[in-house]
Homo-oligomer: A and B are copies of this chain.
Amino acid sequence: MAETLGSMKRTHMSGTLRTNNIDEEVVLMGWVQKRRNLGGLLFVDLRDRSGIAQIIFDKDISEEAFLKADKLRGEYVIGVKGVVKTRESINKNMLTGDIEIFASELKIFSEAQTPPIYIEDEDEVSENLRLKYRYLDLRKPKMQKNLMFRHKMAKITRDFLDENGFVETETPMLGKPTPEGARDYLVPSRVNPGKFYALPQSPQLFKQLLMASGMDRYFQIVKCFRDEDLRADRQPEFTQIDIEMSFVDIEDVLSMNERLLKKIFKEMMNIDIQLPLQRMPYSEAMERYGSDKPDVRFGFELTGLNELVENCGFKVFSDTIKNGGDVRGINIKGHGDDYSRKKIGKLEDYVKTYGAKGLAWIKITNEGPTSPIAKFFSDEEMNKIIERFEAKEGDLILIVADRPNVVFDALGHLRVEIAKQLDLLNKNDYKLLWVTDFPLFEYDEEEKRYVAKHHPFTSPKEEDLHLLETEPHKVCAKAYDIVLNGVEIGGGSIRIHNSELQQKMFKALGLSEEEAWEKFGYLLEAFKYGTPPHGGIAYGLDRFVMLLTGNDSIREVIAFPKTQNASSPMTEDPSTVDKKQLEELHIELALEK
């Protein structure tokens, strides 16, 4: 009994009707949210993307429409013609709660079986069911808002970049495999037997080549791919806002991006952020927050104790320092009473997941300091420690002694975990921060060699160039990350634009000249024909939208995401393919027996 649109044309979206529409004849189209029979009248809540309007079917107005309406069930798709009237019993909880529509005509475009999930924001069903019936899940108002928010944010970003002379340029999806970095998704070539394309991990080299091309300012909102094991906030494909500019140094990139961020926060959140944004060198971020992406919405900053405890009677501390380690702690100001011994035990378990061997603590009670390690310290030593933390009655000091990296990692995560437990993280408080002056390299303990902290195309600071071959660990990079509430939402750098320097960089990373040319020869070649100084940034759009919409997973802001094992319960991909298709691609399966 499906009906056609015929001459019926929608005049309004349901959620937009207000008292100024009263007495207008309107045509609405959408889904039946619910239907009730009250006192011989049929009440239907009609839902579309914009919201819900209440329709009334009255036998006295149209018996035909009334009889049809009597058959309506949830999720039927209908069109309704009617007149807007003042609602008798005003509903303050609905934006359209002041009006109702008396229907004169009804068309049923599509019937519906009872859906396997409810079309309500608060419906609690398994992630798997939500993804299997994603087309139903996306009918939920909050999911539609997420997608519309994402659209608007991408639009605003494009408007800003266009106004500032950036040219959106598409770069290839089918590119060259790059064994450096994360794992590539590969695509076998049919016309080039035995050869493969790779899906891009980022358009990094193409955007640099566009700068060599004189395109001056480039951007692209673009899909990127990494074949990594998935975590809650990872997807096989993700979207980057990718930006690159010529004839710039760090300050130029930062100030352009601050203006972009200001615009996004104003238009999307109605929040005025103050410029310039806070900036913090990497070393300071580590010392104060134990993290290169600190959440600066709250304190609990790290405090060093080394010179206070290097000769103390507590072997755990003094031996750690002797062996090149650190002793640092945080003061959970005013929350000592929130942590019993048992709860502190759980915090100790928590820091152990980051490799720490233990968690020492000192609680300042009204009877003075209490601590299982108090017996190892003289009163004077204990007082100095307490003084160092500026600790007062009601405070709780938590201390980790270990290798420096472990101390940073454990305390960096611990302060955030405690802030969560104490509900100190205000989702509506947005703190943006540039982290700058990253080291150019970090030492990879597994591979026993230096690897690039950002990527091999990042420029060292001019003043550190002389250290590149002798003391690479001391070289500072022209790199920067933008951090929002403890989450890195973007990062970038000024790039190398000189063939010799780029080759030195590859050498420092352990690539032979031959390997460097085989993998990146076209970049080294391009640098020979006149390339401008350039730099840029890339934002993770999914994560950025997730934070601004107050969601906990990027799956909430992606229309059709994959599960943890990189599959789709709806379309059932990936899937098997015909042998003939594989033959055409010159490959065959090699499955373990």
A: which residues have CB within 8 A of B? 2, 4-5, 9-10, 29-32, 47-49, 75-77, 79, 109-113, 115, 133-136, 138-139, 144, 147-148, 150-151, 154-155, 158, 162, 167-177, 179, 183-199, 205-206, 209-210, 212-216, 223, 225, 227, 229, 236-237, 239, 246-249, 252, 462, 497-498, 522, 526-533, 558-560, 562, 565-568, 570-578, 581-592
Contacts and interface: CB of A to CB of B under 8 A. Distances in A.
Number of chain copies forming the complex: 2
A351 to B, nearest CB: 31
20 contacts: A2-B498, A29-B246, A48-B216, A49-B214, A49-B215, A77-B531, A77-B532, A110-B533, A138-B214, A170-B223, A170-B558, A170-B559, A173-B223, A176-B571, A176-B575, A177-B573, A177-B577, A194-B589, A194-B591, A587-B590
Contacts of A526: 135
A79 B147 contact: no
A522 B29 contact: no
Contact of A248 (B5, B154, B197, B249): B5
Given A193-B592, A205-B571, 14 more contacts: A4-B462, A31-B214, A109-B532, A138-B210, A155-B168, A173-B223, A173-B225, A174-B185, A176-B568, A176-B573, A183-B581, A188-B188, A189-B574, A586-B592
Contact of A109 (B47, B48, B533, B575): B533
Contacts of A112: 528-530
Nearest to A115: B529
Contacts of A213: 134-136, 138-139, 144
A535 to B, nearest CB: 11
A10 B217 CA distance: 13
A239 B48 CA distance: 30
Given A49-B214, A155-B158, A248-B5, A206 B559 contact: yes
A552 to B, nearest CB: 20
Given A138-B215, A227-B190, A571-B522, A590 B583 contact: yes
Contacts of A212: 135
A577 B193 contact: no
A240 B138 CA distance: 24
Contacts of A196: 574-577
A189 B567 CA distance: 9
A566 B529 contact: no
